[in-house]
Chains A and B, each alone.
Chain A
């Protein structure tokens, strides 16, 4: 079964740091680009960050640029999100997602593929 399982969400103080993890199984992780998407309580979806399948290209939302870093370890089938300088507005459920197509080069043309697999999410709360 294709599965993504996020972890690492906790309550953290403003200004603090946190690293989220996403463990992939049931597919060849190294063949697919991945993303993080978040959802504040009672709100809509917000794309956060993208990383291509071999990890050498990333994109991030302006709201997190310079504070969050996406990375991956293909030997561990894992995706990460390093979150620094956290703010109250970063409070959200964070999902990791898998891109649809294997070895896609859409990102090279500035395009993206749809997200066909989502994890269940991990909750990050930024509060003093």
Chain B
């Protein structure tokens, strides 16, 4: 199952609303997770089951979608949110990740 993320990169300002999309090549129900990775660090789980916020993750992060189309939204971008974001499908092995979306400071 291929996952296509868009955009591959974006520039945004603190306080902006940011939306990242992830499209699956076939239906995956709600079996999707989102991760955040900062330079030189391991990825961190943000959202699982497409829309469930992982414990400890700020509520400005939200996820939605099912089937083939999914979104990750950051309602008000904070300085610590500048990072690369990946979606991952958990519907079928082999598991796959999207290509990533790098969120940069405008």
Contacts and interface: CB of A to CB of B under 8 A. Distances in A.
- Interface size class on chain A is 20 to 34
B93 A112 contact: yes
B33 A118 contact: no
Interface stretch (A15-23, A39-47, A67-75): A39-47
A111 B31 contact: yes
The dominant DSSP class at the B interface is loop
A44 B97 CA distance: 8
Interface stretch (B11-19, B39-47, B66-74, B75-83): B39-47
Interface string B15-55: 00000000000000001010101000111110011000010
Contacts of B41: 120
**CB-based closest 9 A-B pairs:** A118-B42, A114-B48, A114-B33, A112-B90, A47-B95, A59-B93, A45-B97, A44-B100, A61-B94
Interface of A: 35, 44-47, 50, 59-62, 95, 100, 106, 110-116, 118-121
29 contacts: A44-B86, A44-B99, A44-B100, A45-B35, A45-B43, A45-B86, A45-B88, A45-B100, A46-B97, A47-B94, A47-B96, A50-B95, A59-B93, A60-B94, A95-B42, A95-B43, A100-B45, A100-B48, A111-B90, A112-B31, A113-B90, A114-B49, A114-B54, A114-B90, A115-B43, A115-B88, A116-B45, A118-B42, A118-B44
